Structure 1
Amino acid sequence: MFVDIINAKSRLLDVFADLDDDELIAMEQWIGSKQYKKDLENKKSLIKSDEAITKIVDVIKGMVPFEAEMASEKIEYPIVGDAADCNKVNTRHVDEFLYDEEQVQELVKDGKLSRHYCIDCNSQNIKELTYISHSKSRLQLQYIYKVLLPKDLECKLILDVGSRFGGVLYGAYYFTNASKIVGIELNKECCEVQEKIISQFKMGKRIQVVNSDVLNKGDLVAKSDVCIINCLDFFVSTEEHKRLWYFFKEHLKKGSYVVLDRSIVDTLQPLDIFDEFADWLSVSKPMQLENEILFDVEELHQLYLYIVN
């Protein structure tokens, strides 16, 4: 025990050594305050909830292919936007809900993943692969529910468009008090994975999965209080992508929250339709800003919260 305390003090001193005088004073005040204890309690709660989600992740890994793209899924490589240079040769899918950055490094080290591809076969003329994810990471989910969105979501409906294996749904279950959590997913195989997980971990009272094209569920979209829209580029054509945004604009109710992993400007400008949506959404500040202390926010800048006008 004594050695553990010494090691803990040593790690703290390493952190303190990098602080200037003003930062050190602020740290001393924080550690000496009641707020420190509250922040620590919140951090422990976050870790406990993430451990529950990690158990789900381990089960899903045994249910889906390593690349986490189902055989029945139709992948459409974008022809506009910041992913327009992605193709079958230079792009690999690594699902961030299933594999965090540390695990990816281990996979590369073990030879299960490569960082590069050969431009000219059998030569040393290589380029770095582009890694994409069709899912949000567990850290992103924590940040969405513990920083971006309001704390109290009781009697609210969280809707995930393109729920795939259900990561956003499980995050909402463990990190919020939302009464109803619904995922819309077009692919039947992905829905089957979600249904099995929901049943196995007994989450059916709050989570529902709908196997449908979201365009056929305008009534459900209109009821949502929070709509989380995953990156759609790799699953629809450019024209279908446009149609989806017109649909969201028509059905999402005033005052509801929209969470995106790309700004609305960067999403719609490549589609040449942003001008028609300029007054549709307003940027919202994080609703639980006090919880940013639980995260390294520099790693989470690619998450955006909007309110429907």
Structure 2
Amino acid sequence: MSEDSVVNTKFRMLELLSELDEVEIDTIEQWISSLAYRKDLERKKSLQRSEKILINIGNSIKKIVPFEAEMPTEIIAPPTVGDQADCNKTNTCHVDEFLFDEMEVEKLVKKGKLKRHYCTDCNSRNIEDLIYISHSMSRQALQYIFKVLLPSDLEEKQILDIGSRLGAVLYGAYHFSTAGTIVGIEMNKECCDVQQRIIDQFSMDSNRIKVVHSDVMERSDLVANSDIIIINVLDFFMNNEKHKEMWHFFKKHIKKGTYLVCNRSMSDTLDNLDMFEELMDWLSICKPNQLENEIFFDMEDCNELFLYTVN
């Protein structure tokens, strides 16, 4: 490292430390002087190595799916209730968080491949912000799920991803967890084909990771045998009646003690469907199982992930 690099590094450290009070500075000093940071640094580097694999997977997916990452045969429609009911075809843009992180989005905006705004009356100055939505989870969210929210000892457990689409959760579970069985269930055949192609291309163990082409409500066996179920927001993929039917199905078939991971609070989801009173006692919210790993994450990026257990 050059002398200029050392000076620049010290500058950045002082910038960070200047925002702390004396108690916080003392805590950081103890962390460094005890050399505990060395162990944390190795774990951070391990996460970065695994993330690079997911970046390579994402780059491969970009080559075989449309830019919007929505397959031609998928039926995707804005919801009519809930926190995304303001979305429509004019004001909404799908940007897949697994394929494009924030830095990549900014690059695409600068190149003119993505827009931040849309015109409401065809006059340039009367514009509104576009709503960016993602039907996948980001790499950071996946790391947080498997390195903070869920237990570390998953060797004998089965993970089920509901609506696995391009497979982001499956690849995250494969590389960030010790889960013995990882299953994605997806109704769209094109999406299933993409997932299987990636699993084969990256030589993932087919005994450990698999994709099932089916409606989840036709596979109660998979639901009942899973120990962890991950559900991304499904509002764009089914109407309210189908959504209610699905949650009744889950209540009937998900076994007691199963972990449920969602990227929106269940109270909001059930409120939107007028089912809160009916299902409020079915789930209990959980604390993260690996709190010691929160040091590796920007918590603002992970505050929309929720962990529940089935009562």
Pairwise TM-score range, normalised by the shorter structure: over 0.9
* Distance in 1 between residues matched to 2:177 and 2:186, nearest whole Å: 21
Whether 1:111 and 2:112 are equivalent positions in the alignment is yes
Whether 1:292 and 2:297 are equivalent positions in the alignment is no
Query: Residue by residue, what CA displacement relative to the aligned partner does 1:51-96 show, whole Å, maximum 9, x if unpaired?
Result: 1111101100001000110100001210010111111111110000
Bigger Cα displacement from structure 2, 146-155 vs 114-123: 114-123
One-letter amino acid of the counterpart of residue 93, structure 1: H
One-letter amino acid of the counterpart of residue 249, structure 2: F
Whether 1:179 and 2:180 are equivalent positions in the alignment is yes
Per-residue deviation at 1:240?
Answer: 0.4
* Distance in 1 between residues matched to 2:84 and 2:117, nearest whole Å: 18
Query: Structure 1: which 5+ runs fail to align?
Result: none
Specify the alignment match of 1:239 in structure 2. 241
One-letter amino acid of the counterpart of residue 7, structure 1: N
Whether 1:101 and 2:102 are equivalent positions in the alignment is yes
* Distance in 2 between residues matched to 1:167 and 1:257, nearest whole Å: 19
* Distance in 2 between residues matched to 1:226 and 1:35, nearest whole Å: 32
Per-residue deviation at 1:120?
Answer: 1.1
* Distance in 2 between residues matched to 1:54 and 1:136, nearest whole Å: 13
Specify the alignment match of 1:163 in structure 2. 164
Specify the alignment match of 2:83 in structure 1. 82
Bigger Cα displacement from structure 2, 35-44 vs 58-67: 35-44
Query: Residue by residue, what CA displacement relative to the aligned partner does 1:95-149 show, whole Å, maximum 9, x if unpaired?
Result: 0010011111111111101111111124432111111000111110000000000
Structure 1 vs Structure 2 CA RMSD:
1.1
Whether 1:68 and 2:36 are equivalent positions in the alignment is no
* Distance in 1 between residues matched to 2:70 and 2:119, nearest whole Å: 23
* Distance in 2 between residues matched to 1:287 and 1:182, nearest whole Å: 22
Whether 1:54 and 2:40 are equivalent positions in the alignment is no
* Distance in 2 between residues matched to 1:221 and 1:59, nearest whole Å: 30
* Distance in 2 between residues matched to 1:101 and 1:23, nearest whole Å: 29
Per-residue deviation at 1:50?
Answer: 0.2
Per-residue deviation at 1:35?
Answer: 2.7
1:305 alignment partner, SS class: strand
One-letter amino acid of the counterpart of residue 94, structure 2: H
One-letter amino acid of the counterpart of residue 191, structure 2: C
* Distance in 2 between residues matched to 1:242 and 1:288, nearest whole Å: 32
Specify the alignment match of 1:23 in structure 2. 24
One-letter amino acid of the counterpart of residue 226, structure 1: I
Task: Tell me the number of residue pairs that the alignment of Structure 1 and Structure 2 aligns.
Answer: 309
Percentage of pairs with the same residue: 60
* Distance in 2 between residues matched to 1:277 and 1:34, nearest whole Å: 48
Per-residue deviation at 1:9?
Answer: 2.9
* Distance in 1 between residues matched to 2:184 and 2:101, nearest whole Å: 23
Specify the alignment match of 1:254 in structure 2. 256
Specify the alignment match of 1:277 in structure 2. 279
Specify the alignment match of 2:266 in structure 1. 264
1:234 alignment partner, SS class: helix
* Distance in 2 between residues matched to 1:11 and 1:270, nearest whole Å: 45
Specify the alignment match of 1:12 in structure 2. 13
* Distance in 1 between residues matched to 2:296 and 2:192, nearest whole Å: 32
One-letter amino acid of the counterpart of residue 105, structure 2: V
* Distance in 2 between residues matched to 1:93 and 1:128, nearest whole Å: 14
One-letter amino acid of the counterpart of residue 209, structure 1: V
Matches within 5 A, 1:223-238: 223-238=225-240
Per-residue deviation at 1:200?
Answer: 0.6
Bigger Cα displacement from structure 2, 201-210 vs 55-64: 201-210
* Distance in 2 between residues matched to 1:103 and 1:87, nearest whole Å: 24
* Distance in 2 between residues matched to 1:123 and 1:295, nearest whole Å: 39
Specify the alignment match of 1:42 in structure 2. 43
Query: Residue by residue, what CA displacement relative to the aligned partner does 1:225-247 show, whole Å, maximum 9, x if unpaired?
Result: 00001110000011001111111
Per-residue deviation at 1:34?
Answer: 4.2
* Distance in 2 between residues matched to 1:34 and 1:187, nearest whole Å: 50
Per-residue deviation at 1:23?
Answer: 1.0
Per-residue deviation at 1:273?
Answer: 1.0
* Distance in 2 between residues matched to 1:233 and 1:11, nearest whole Å: 43
Per-residue deviation at 1:14?
Answer: 2.2
One-letter amino acid of the counterpart of residue 174, structure 1: H
Whether 1:121 and 2:129 are equivalent positions in the alignment is no
* Distance in 1 between residues matched to 2:228 and 2:165, nearest whole Å: 18
Specify the alignment match of 2:150 in structure 1. 149
